Structure 1
Amino acid sequence: MIRRITGAGMFGLAVLWMFPLLWALWTSFRPREHATSWSFSLDFTFDNYAKVWDAAPFAQYYLNTFLIVIGVLMAQIITATLAAYAFAKLRFWGRDVLFILFLVQIMVPADILIFPNYNVLRDLSLLDTKIGIMLPYFASAFGVFLLRQTFKTIPHELEEAARMEGCNWFQILWRVYVPLARPTYIAFGLVSVSYHWNNFMWPLIITNSVENRPLTVGLAIFAQSFETGAQWAEVSAATMMVIFPLLLAFLMFQRQFINSFIHSGGK
Structure 2
Amino acid sequence: MITDLSFYVAAVPAVVLMGLSKGGFSGLGLLSLPLMALVVSPVQSAAIMLPILIIQDVVTVWAYRRYWDRRNLAILIPSSIVGIVSGYLLAARVSDAAVTLAVGVISIAFAVRRLIVERRAMPPDPTKADVPHGLFWGTVIGFTSMVAHAGGPPFQIYVMPQRLPRDIFVGTGAICFALINWIKVPPYLALGQFTHENLTTAAALFPVAVVSTWLGVLLVRRTSGERFYTLVYLLLVLVGAKLIVDGIRTFL
TM-score range, shorter chain: 0.3 to 0.5
Task: Calculate the TM-score normalised by the size of structure 2.
Answer: 0.34
The structure, 1 or 2, with the larger RCO (C-alpha pairs under 8 Å, 6+ apart) is: 2
